[in-house]
Amino acid sequence: MLPWLLVAMQVSLAGPETGAAVTIASPSDGDKVGWQQMIRGTTTLKDAKLWIVVRPIPAVRFWVQAPATVDANGNWSNVSFFGEKSEAFRGLDFEIMVVANPEKELSEGLELERWPQAEARSATLKVKRQ
């Protein structure tokens, strides 16, 4: 498989009914992140309500971040938090997923037991807190 095709497959997942895609452009899989990190990407879903969800590994809780702001071209961004500002979170791995139009209502700060079901979801990225 071509390397660029493999990367594209890792960060995009189309919703089965709509064909809409949600992608994470930054950070990339394997990147190091700060305790606050700007997350950016794109969506082809018009009027999407996008939520960034992060999970520290190996924790079983998924933390809902503030909804992402989507512009008219489908570009979105928002700052997400990877633990707290303390040293305790340095070196931990985190997973990131973005969901579009979740089945159940989400709110910033909500803790979930699993990734939320949604009309479309990005692939899961793994990053390391620096």
Mean pLDDT for the stretch of residues 6-33:
67
The 10s digit of each residue's pLDDT in 23-72 is 999 999 999 999 999 999 999 998 999 999 999 998 889 999 999 999 99
Q: How many residues does the chain have?
A: 130
CB distance 68 to 77 below 8 Å: yes
Q: Which helix (H) or strand (E) holds 126?
A: strand 125-129
Assign residue 24 the CATH number of its domain: 2.60.40.10
123 has pLDDT over 80: yes
Residues spanned by the domain of 40: 3-129
Q: Would you state the pLDDT for residue 6?
A: 32
Q: Would you state the pLDDT for residue 46?
A: 87
Could you list the beta-strand ranges (E) of 5-114.
12-14, 21-26, 32-33, 36-43, 50-56, 62-67, 69-70, 75-81, 93-102, 111-112
Q: Would you state the pLDDT for residue 35?
A: 95
Instruction: Mean pLDDT check: name the lowest of 1-5, 18-22, 51-55, 72-76.
Output: 1-5
Domains contained in the chain, number: 1
